[in-house]
Amino acid sequence: MLERAPFLTCPLCGEATLGILSAGGSTLRRRCRACRHAVSVPLPGLSKKVVYLDQFAISEIYKVKSGRRRAQSGGQAFWEEVTAQIDRACLLQQVIFPGSNIHRDETIVSPFASDLALAHEMLSGDVSFANFEHIEQRQVLDYAKTYLNGRAAPSLSFHVDEVLEGARNDWLPDMHITTDMDYAVFANGIRRHRDETDASCKVLWQRWIRQKPTFNEVFSHEFNDFGNAKKGALKYAAQQAQTALQSHDTREFLNRLSYPALEEFNQLKQLFRDHGIAERELASSVFAFWDWPENRNMPTHRISAYLFAGLSRRLVSAGQKKLPSKGMMNDIRAISTYGPYVDAMFIDKGCASLLSEEPLRSELRLKAEIFSSTSGQAFLQYLQRLDDETPANVRRHAREIYGI
């Protein structure tokens, strides 16, 4: 029998055999084991919070659930409590923790790729963030449309559903079906790209240490460098594609053609073409747009400029000896992309510390509440608050469906 407890009295036959058949979306479906009478019950509406968890937090939660976490590594009690509270808040339908392409790439190169991917899939509620590149491209296109119409910079919306794929406020299905995907074929390419990014970042970190620029100097350079950065990224992507083509590496050639800089360039050319710009003028018109001063205030760009400046100050003034890790660029991407949209973020403690310093704390005004392992108790209090604020009718159905 597919029906399960708790069983209610069937309105048709009067037997206490009306069990749960399935739940999810916006409906609870019951069926009587005795007479097969079926009933569909609408579930209460939801308004789930959206929280970004960095890969470190996801890994710790996975280790707790799988029994792989070593107690001697420290923080065992904390991560056990985080795991329990996150599971409870998810089942109470108060929060989701979507995955992103940042997580996907970091997961693929993990030795526990499949298990880690499934652990995050269970936290996401079948919802994911749009690729961070696509969110930036959307902002770029919004600015480009305003530019073409001769107006000032657009007023962007930061409603979280704009950057999510999937239905945020669906009730979780009571059964989860997954497929075992083998992403190993992508691992080498991701590692190579990560190493390329890390190598170029190390050059920058070491130049800061050597030249000792001020916070304002780094911020001014990053803030005003929008156009040069875009054109440099486009040139690099085109060169890499040409190199792959000359070496007859078709897979790598196609991979390089999908680089964000080339995608954005082609999208902008199409937008300008639709606006009536002549074909021969498309490239120069896109370059002129990239140089538009208003682009400096594009949220993804502005936030990352502040983060780079804060990081430079830490390396130079604070005398931080250890260079940032390979994951630093992913941390910067996540904060600058998702920070304006989500309700909370649990991130690297170094990045959280940067965001607490002036002028970042005053100037960025992120929507997200920021947590890290340093503010772990505050994060537990946040999760408990979600539990406490669960509406009574939602809590009642959650208990019935998920057994919490």
Would you list the domain boundaries of the chain?
A: 4-42, 48-404
Least confident of 32-46, 102-116, 178-192, 214-228: 178-192
Cα–chain center distance at 356: 21
The distance from CA 108 to its chain's CA centroid, rounded to whole angstroms, is 16
Interval 165-175 mean pLDDT: 91
- Residue 49: Cβ within 10 Å count: 20
pLDDT of residue 42: 97
The answer on pLDDT for 111 being more than 70 is: no
Rounded to two decimals, the pTM is: 0.90
- Confidence band, pLDDT 50/70/90 cuts, at residue 2: confident
Amino acid at 333: R
Lowest-pLDDT range, 87-101, 197-211, 381-395?
Answer: 197-211
User: What's the mean pLDDT when you consider all of the chain?
Assistant: 88
Residue type, 44: P
**Closest C-alpha among 194, 189, 301 to residue 256:** 189
What band does 393 get if pLDDT is binned at 50, 70 and 90?
A: very high
158 touches 340 (CB < 8 A):
yes
Give per-residue pLDDT as tens, 377-389.
999 999 999 999 9
Q: What percent of the chain has pLDDT over 70?
A: 84
* Residues 81, 380 contacting (CB under 8 angstroms): yes
pLDDT digits (tens, 9 = 90+) for 199-231: 788 888 899 989 999 999 999 999 999 999 999
Mean pLDDT across 132-159: 93
Q: In this predicted structure, what is the pLDDT of residue 68?
A: 77
Q: What pLDDT does residue 363 have?
A: 95
345 pLDDT more than 70: yes
Nearest to residue 353, comparing CAs of 340, 335, 341, 367? 335
Mean pLDDT of 18-31: 96
Measured CA to CA, the distance from residue 217 to residue 207 in angstroms comes to 13
Could you please report the per-residue DSSP string of 224-260?
A: H-HHHHHHHHHHHHHHHHHHHHHTT-HHHHHHHHT-H
Q: Are 374 and 350 in contact (CB under 8 A)?
A: no
pLDDT of 102 reads 82
Residue 6 has pLDDT above 80, yes or no: yes
Q: What is the pLDDT of residue 245?
A: 62
Identity of residue 369: E
Instruction: Using CA atoms of 247, 250, 251, 253 in order, give the dihedral in degrees to the nearest 10.
Output: 70
Residues 56 and 391: their CA atoms lie apart, in Å, by 31
Share above pLDDT 90 across residues of the chain, in percent, rounded to a whole number: 64
pLDDT classification of 296: cutoffs 50, 70, 90: very high
